[in-house]
Amino acid sequence: MKLPYSPTLALVDSHVGISKIYVLKNPFTEDVFYVGQTMQELNLRLAGHIAETGANRDKIHYIKNIIANGEKPIIQAIEVIPTKCYIDKMLVNEREYYWIKFYKTKGCNLLNKRGIEGGA
C-alpha cells in the first residue's frame, strides 16, 4: 500500500511531551538544593518529592525539615524542552547535568544523588 504524498501538505511540528528541568529551593533562604527533570506538572512533581521515601535520605530529610517548619520547598522550572523521541530524552539528561554543574559551580550544596563526579 502506498501512502499519498503531497508537496503542498504542511508539515506539523508535533511532540510527544514537554520535559522540564527544575530546581527545588529552600523557601526560607531561596537556596537551590536540588536539580531535577520531569514531564509532570510541577505541582505534581513537588508532591512526589514531599511524599518520597526513596534512597536519597539527605534530600528527604531536608524536605521534611522545611515542612516541619511550616513551609514547602519552592519548585521552579529553569528550562523547558519539547521532546519527540528517545534522542530528545538524552538531550534532557544532558541539560539536567549541565544545570547540576552550573549550580555546583555557583556554590550550591545540591542534594542530587546522580550528577557530576559520579554521584552527588
Q: What is the pLDDT of residues 4-30, one digit of tens each?
A: 555 555 545 555 789 999 999 999 999
Residue 87, number of CB atoms within 10 A of its CB: 8
Sheet with 74-83, side-by-side order of all strands: 32-38, 17-25, 74-83
User: Cell numbers of 90, please?
Assistant: 538524552
pTM exceeds cut of 0.85: no
Residue 77, number of CB atoms within 10 A of its CB: 14
What pairs with residue 35 in β-bridges?
Answer: 23
How many residues would you count in the chain?
Answer: 120
- pLDDT of 111 strictly over 80: yes
Q: Which residue has the cell 542534594?
A: 111
Q: How far apart (Å, rounded) are the C-alpha atoms in residues 65 and 58? A: 11
Residue-wise pLDDT for 18-73, tens only, equals: 999 999 999 999 999 999 999 999 999 999 999 998 889 999 999 999 999 999 99
pLDDT of residue 119: 40
Per-residue pLDDT band for 88 (boundaries 50, 70, 90) equals: confident
Q: Contact, 112 vs 34, CB < 8 A?
A: yes
